[in-house]
Structure 1
């Protein structure tokens, strides 16, 4: 394993994050604060509790997941797309590094950025609502796995994208709607039976459910299924990345 190469890619990507700190960090925190004001205060004043948890606290895991998923995907996709755009991807491909080392560098940096934002939003939530975490180690585990899995997805999107518009296509048109429809602001049990069944085909439901269980001890689906779903998602993304580098699909275009 070429740790020097991994470190070089990781440090370069993290440096870019701190150069654009306003866009990369402050913007998502402000957006999430607005969600707390609108959903936690305005709507929360009309909905007292959900599953014996105050509505303002109930939406915290969903808001963290919303930011983490979108930020991990966006950072990873831009990180690998930009070398393609300016042509430096050929220098990377000709260097003595394999696909795993390249992936670890870019995905590791994107996951770190998303994790950093998730922690900041978690701390910000304490200014709006009272939060208790029943299973802190499980919360950290779910947060880390979500950061890594969606950074892997973003890496694939960055390779697939042919222009800057396509970089935002999947996060805006697929991931964000799935998060909103995945129980971020409500419990799946509040839906009519037919919609509960349909919602179970949304993979984001399992991530948010497991993450919320770490906070409040309640979940819409069993925790074991949530862990299995995210593990399968990570394995599928890694298999896709291995195939991409093996065939050269979209990398040299």
Structure 2
């Protein structure tokens, strides 16, 4: 494995974060703080507790997961799309670097940036509510798996997209609505029975539920199922990325 090549790609992508610090780090934190003000104060005044947890604390895992998903997608998709857009991707493809090393470099940087934002949001949340993490190792596991999985998904979107409009289509019109409807700000048990069944077809439910369980020991679906679904998403994303490099889909043209 060419660790020097992985490090070069990784550090190049990370350097872009520090050049756009406000957009990359500060903006998501401000947005999350506004969520606490709006949801925690306005809705929290009407919903005191959810399953024995104060509403302000209950939404923290959902907020972190919302930021983690969107940041992973946007960082990874833009990270690979921009070299394709400018044509510099051919320099990477023609260099003595394997496809595996390219993916590790780009996806690793995207996941790192997303997790950095997630950690900052977690620390920010402690200023607003009292948090407890009952299963810290599980929290870290779900945290890392989700960041890597959706960074891979974002990498796929960055390869698929032909323009900036397509680059934003999936994150804005598909992933973000699914996250809002996936129990980020409520328990799906609060829904009528029919809509509870419908919601179970939303893959984000399993991510949010497992992550929230690691905080409070409570989940809408079993933690084993949440972990299995997360690993399944990861495996599917890895399979698609492998197919992309094997066929050269939108990379060699």
- Bucket of the pairwise TM-score, normalised by the shorter protein: over 0.9
In 1, distance between residues paired with 2:231 and 2:100? 18
Aligned residues: 253
Runs of 4+ in 1 over 3 A off after TM superposition: none
Which residue number corresponds to residue 177 of structure 2?
Answer: 177
Which residue number corresponds to residue 13 of structure 1?
Answer: 13
Aligned-pair CA distance for 1:144? 0.6
Q: How does 1:16-95 map to 2 (within 5 A)?
A: 16-95=16-95
In 2, distance between residues paired with 1:189 and 1:47? 14
Which residue number corresponds to residue 112 of structure 1?
Answer: 112
In 2, distance between residues paired with 1:195 and 1:148? 30
In 2, distance between residues paired with 1:223 and 1:83? 39
Q: How does 1:116-195 map to 2 (within 5 A)?
A: 116-195=116-195
Structure 2: gaps of 5 or more residues: none
> Deviations 1:92-128 (Å, cap 9, x if unpaired)?
1111112111000000000000000000000000111
Which residue number corresponds to residue 214 of structure 2?
Answer: 214
> Deviations 1:155-197 (Å, cap 9, x if unpaired)?
0000001011211111100110000000000001111110000
Q: Report the TM-score when normalising by structure 2.
A: 0.99
Aligned-pair CA distance for 1:251? 1.1
Which residue number corresponds to residue 199 of structure 1?
Answer: 199
In 2, distance between residues paired with 1:51 and 1:166? 40
In 2, distance between residues paired with 1:252 and 1:71? 27
Structure 1: gaps of 5 or more residues: none
In 1, distance between residues paired with 2:5 and 2:165? 30
Aligned residue for 1:17, secondary structure, equals helix
